[in-house]
Amino acid sequence: MACLRNGAGSRGLSARSRYPSMPRYPKGAAAPPMPSAVVELEERAEAARAVLFSVAGMTCSACAASVEKAVKRLPGIHDAAVDVLNNRAQVLFYARYVDEITIREAIEDAGFEAALIESELNRERALTCRMHIKGMTCSSCSSTIESALQGVPGVQKALVAVATEGAEVQYDPKLVTAKQLVEKVGDLGFEAILIATGEDRNKVRLILEGILTDPYMRMVESSLQAVPGVEEISIDPILHGVSVSYRSDVTGPRSFIETIESIEPGHFKATIFPEGERFPQRQQEIKQYRQSFLWSLVFTIPVFLTSMVLMYVPGIKHGLDTKLVNMLCIGQLLRWILSTPVQFIIGRRFYTGSYKALRHGSANMDVLIALGTNAAYFYSVYSVIRSATSHDFEAMDFFETSSMLISFILLGKYLEVLAKGKTSEAIGKLMNLAPEAATLLTYDSEGNVINEKEIDSRLIQKNDVIKVVPGGKVAADGLVVWGQSHVNESMITGEARPVAKRKGDSVIGGTVNENGVLHIQATHVGTESALSQIVSLVESAQMAKAPVQKFADRVSRYFVPLVITLSLCTWLTWLLAGKFDGYLRFWLPPSMDRFELALQFGISVMVIACPCALGLATPTAVMVGTGVGASQGVLIKGGQALESARKVNCIIFDKTGTLTVGKPVVVRTKLFKNLALRDFYDLVAAAEVNSEHPLAKAIVEYARKVRGEEGTHAWPEARDFVSITGHGLKAVVDNKDVLVGNRRLMLDSKIPISTEAEEILKKTEQMARTGILVSVSGELVGIIAISDPLKPSARDVVSILSSMKVRSIMVTGDNWGTANAIAREVGIETVVAEAKPEQKAEKVKELQMSGCIVAMVGDGINDSPALVAADVGMAIGAGTDIAIEAADIVLMKSHLEDVITAIDLSKKTFARIRQNYIWALGYNIIGIPIAAGVLFPSTRIRLPPWIAGAAMAASSVNVVCCSLMLRHYRRPKKLETLEMGEIKVQ
């Protein structure tokens, strides 16, 4: 998985623009007066730029077509896509021929208003910061923060997730800083903790122990600033910590600790910040809610007992009813005293949350709770004061309503944050793959090991040499510099069998050394490691919102005001009904008048309606779904990819490295001249050793076997080497002209191909093999047949997809003969061969135009345009960085059956989201009328406010627990992985 190191970022046009095809010039457009070959070379060297416009005035697909046509008519436009639903246009262009202003003017000339939203130039210099935000209670809070951040000049994109309590903001550092973004969140009344600024890829936080006076802290700061490679230092005097941003190729955290402790030996002690818990804020929040709930019970239980239990015990009832002042009795005074701390101290968080929300013109769950509990509490205070000043007024207090309501809500929030913590278990499991300690080796000047020292694995720096014993975990990504062993990489790559490792081989942090001792030189540490990149990818995926969540965001925006209105209407309706004798007097519960009955109905409506359940329905399911996907080896980049994957009804497969293993081997050699096989391969390997092509590597590897030698071999010198793209190569070896390539190369070089050779080539292609022709001194001397074995699961995967009503198509750059042979083997009927990268993307668009939801599965650079164009791009994990960057889903284990897992998991996740919405909406649709007293006239059934509060808290917990059921996800029964990677179809 080292391919993830360069960043498996979110899907975008940037990946495609790095490998553009030629721009299309419409008829009549003036192209620059250059020779076509020069133009082609220059345009291939120049990356196309992406720009995004908002387009106002579009009403239908015909409008979108007009905009697209107007843009594509311009010279230098590589591609344009118009989204009429979101009123946006995305254009890929070459700055040599056209600019953003010209494109905007073209859209306006077509009769629409256009405004620049985002330019790739801005996106290239943009940074992404991550924050943890405390105090959010529902999607209304997250929407408020998100809107405020997006309104800050320089912010290009902001995502706020209430489920993860995090924010991810893409911003231009020239216009705004991460600190200003944190302050903006603080101004909204929420507490923001900056996790990463995007400016410092390598940052470490150290905790200091000792006498930490200001002079000493300044001494620490100046000492660290003198360390080469240190870029920025931040001192936290309150927590006695220091944060250091640094260049990992120059220094590291171990150097910082040694520097600090060397200032005054024995005076300071520095340790790396204990981040054993991935989400310390979440643990702190769980602890706070637990403590608040327990303290509320201390006061609420006596209130409950004195109002609902002890009143029926004769002796105690008499004591509680004893009058103190006029009609004020001991029981009422006790309940007032006990409920006050619950209302104003333990329940202070609801006042704070309400104030923050209302101050910024929004309303959240805290507003409903504060209004409901205050109505009950202050009416009770009014009743108690009136009874104390009256000789005949008997008070009916609701102190138990306010205190029990707060207690049940705190219990619900405690259970909710406890459950939400479990949605991130997948990330915790990934982080636990890394060992806690490592053995650092120290060498003398002659390269001999002179010392071994056990250190915290987080203190490993680049170029450190780490010793890994049998059974131990590899502490960092690196290269083997000594020893031989087998390493189990299944937890990262999914490869079931241990992989042999020797000097020069790469290893991945978190994998397990099976046997033998290895000395490994660290090459990627900290956030640069493959494991950290995977974790970062999963975290970003959990932050991203699925399109379906927009529904909840829209509803939550109006939900609280609507509920408050319904509550007031309920109270007023029952009050007027009582005043004008709309119901019989005996309907009233004992010791309750008509006003109090109406007030209870109003409070019940206010507290039973919960926007939290609606807001948590989508993000919790997406969090668990992406986490489960990561544990299954399927990295899904957010809710958009998850939602699109469930709709896929057509899949395009690349051939090499996707349907096939991607490791070509020589399977047959046919010579037409009297030439020793060893001499033949000496000539071929001498030419091919200069090429990076996979087929060339297969030939060189086979040539070594023919010689009976391993490792590097000094082949004869090759002169005048020329690589002919798409055809082969030529060179001069031992004063002989050697050509190695396909049929086209031989024909272009006037090398005659005999009938026998043509027959062998034809049979080779029919057997799904690639035929390589070799000529020496103008004569065809041999054919090399190379086979790239089909993946054992390929045929079964295509069969299962067919049973799922998903059509399979193969699009490859290989020849038609080999492509058709492979297609027959796997059961694919539609084949497109000899396709260039842009032709693959055009095939995707053609299928989309016909109404298909298309997924593209590939692994190479030439697949990246198609991966971006597809509705869902799936990259094979062992593929190239560019393919992984362009894709929406990364199949980390490189198993083809994970395509089915991704589709099935997305369907199961969205089935869970639908259940969550049904529960959340159904709960409110049923609960609000009952709380409003709809059943009371016929059945006398009513919901006291404290029961309504308990039901409200239960709804959020239920939604989260429903999402957590996804943790028990199992792959479809049709898939049973057998040994050697085979699949059995049940």
Which two tokens mark 601? 């109905």
What pLDDT digit, counting tens, does each position of 693-728 carry?
Answer: 778 888 988 998 888 765 456 788 888 888 876 678
Which two tokens mark 22? 């030629």
Question: ∠ at Cα 468 (499, 275), nearest 5°?
Answer: 105
Q: Assign residue 361 a region (left: φ > 0; alpha: ψ between -120 and 50; beta: otherwise).
A: left
DSSP 344: I
For residue 419, pLDDT beyond 90: no
Confidence (pTM): 0.64
Give the list of residues 6+ apart from residue 591 with CB closer than 8 angstroms, or none: 394, 396
Q: Looking at 96-100, 418-422, 767-771, which range is the least confident one?
A: 418-422
Q: Are 227 and 221 in contact (CB under 8 A)?
A: no
Say whether 447 sits in a helix, a strand or coil. Answer: coil
Output b/e per residue, 57-74; b: 16+ Cβ within 10 A: ebeeeebbebbbebbbbb
Return the bridge partners of 204, or none: 244
**Distance from C-alpha of 540 to C-alpha of 976, rounded to nearest angstrom:** 31
**pLDDT confidence tier of residue 93, bands split at 50, 70 and 90:** confident
What pLDDT digit, counting tens, does each position of 827-870 carry?
Answer: 999 999 878 777 888 898 899 889 899 999 988 666 778 888 88
Strands in 691-795 per DSSP E: 718-724, 728-733, 736-741, 770-776, 779-787
What's the pLDDT at 37? 36
For residue 21, pLDDT beyond 50: no
Give the list of residues 6+ apart from residue 927 with CB closer than 8 angstroms, or none: 608, 609, 943, 948, 951, 955
Q: Looking at 162-166, 301-305, 339-343, 908-912, which range is the least confident one?
A: 162-166
**pLDDT confidence tier of residue 426, bands split at 50, 70 and 90:** low
Q: How far is CA 447 from the centre of its chain?
A: 43
Q: What is the percent of the chain with per-residue pLDDT over 70, rounded to a whole number?
A: 82
Strands in 503-653 per DSSP E: 506-507, 512-515, 518-524, 634-636, 650-653
What pLDDT digit, counting tens, does each position of 300-320 carry?
Answer: 999 888 887 787 788 888 888
For residue 761, pLDDT beyond 70: yes
**Distance from C-alpha of 717 to C-alpha of 686, rounded to nearest angstrom:** 7
Q: Mean pLDDT throughout 946-955?
A: 76
What pLDDT digit, counting tens, does each position of 267-287 carry?
Answer: 777 887 655 444 555 677 788
- Given CA atoms 542, 548, 554, 556 in this order, what sign does their dihedral have? negative
Which two tokens mark 75? 């010279």
What's the pLDDT at 810? 93
**Distance from C-alpha of 862 to C-alpha of 654, rounded to nearest angstrom:** 10
Of 414, 421, 456, 411, the residue nearest 437 (C-alpha) = 456
Output b/e per residue, 253-279; b: 16+ Cβ within 10 A: bbbbbebbbebeeeebebebbeeeebb
**Higher pLDDT, residue 680 or 274:** 680
DSSP per residue, 703-722: HHHHHT--S---PPPEEEEE
What's the pLDDT at 295? 94
- Average pLDDT value over all residues in the chain: 79
Q: Are 26 and 72 in contact (CB under 8 A)?
A: yes
Of 860, 857, 868, the residue nearest 903 (C-alpha) = 857
- Return the C-alpha torsion angle 59, 61, 67, 72, nearest 10: 170
For residue 496, pLDDT beyond 60: no
Q: Is 625 exposed, middle or buried (0-12, 13-18, 19+ CB in 10 A)?
A: buried
Which two tokens mark 753? 């191909």
Q: Mean pLDDT throughout 907-922?
A: 87
What's the pLDDT at 59? 64
**Higher pLDDT, residue 961 or 557:** 961
What's the pLDDT at 198? 65
Residue with tokens 């010793």: 467
What's the pLDDT at 653? 93
Which two tokens mark 109? 């000339």
**Distance from C-alpha of 512 to C-alpha of 514, rounded to nearest angstrom:** 6
Of 445, 430, 449, 436, the residue nearest 534 (C-alpha) = 430
What's the pLDDT at 593? 75
Which two tokens mark 908? 């199961």
Residue with tokens 């544990």: 631
Of 1, 762, 548, the residue nearest 771 (C-alpha) = 762
What's the pLDDT at 739? 93
What's the pLDDT at 828? 93
Phi, psi of 728 (to 5 degrees): 155, -145
Q: Looking at 539-553, 617-631, 941-955, which range is the least confident one?
A: 539-553
Which two tokens mark 71? 């843009």
What's the pLDDT at 981? 44
- Calculate Rg over the CA atoms of the chain: 35
What's the pLDDT at 344? 92
Most confident by average pLDDT, 359-368, 551-560, 659-668:
659-668
Q: Mean pLDDT throughout 744-760?
A: 88
**Distance from C-alpha of 79 to C-alpha of 94, rounded to nearest angstrom:** 10
What's the pLDDT at 125? 56
Q: Residue 719: how many CB atoms within 10 A of its CB? A: 10
Residue with tokens 């802290």: 217
For residue 919, pLDDT beyond 90: no
**Distance from C-alpha of 454 to C-alpha of 671, rounded to nearest angstrom:** 59
**pLDDT confidence tier of residue 296, bands split at 50, 70 and 90:** very high
What's the count of helices (H) and strands (E) in the chain, helices before strands? 34, 38
Return the bridge partners of 723, or none: 729
Domains observed in the chain: 49-122 (3.30.70.100), 125-196 (3.30.70.100), 203-275 (3.30.70.100), 438-527 (2.70.150.10), 665-787 (3.40.1110.10)
The residue type at 383 = S
For residue 386, pLDDT beyond 80: yes
What's the pLDDT at 431? 66
Q: What does the longest C-alpha to C-alpha distance in the chain come to? A: 127
**pLDDT confidence tier of residue 541, bands split at 50, 70 and 90:** low
Of 6, 14, 7, the residue nearest 865 (C-alpha) = 14
Which two tokens mark 164? 């993860």
**pLDDT confidence tier of residue 976, bands split at 50, 70 and 90:** low
What's the pLDDT at 519? 92
Say whether 832 sits in a helix, a strand or coil. Answer: strand
Q: Are 204 and 243 in contact (CB under 8 A)?
A: yes
HEC assignment per residue over 61-113:
HHHHHHHHHHHHCCCCEEEEEEECCCCEEEEEECCCCCCHHHHHHHHHHCCCE
DSSP 656: I
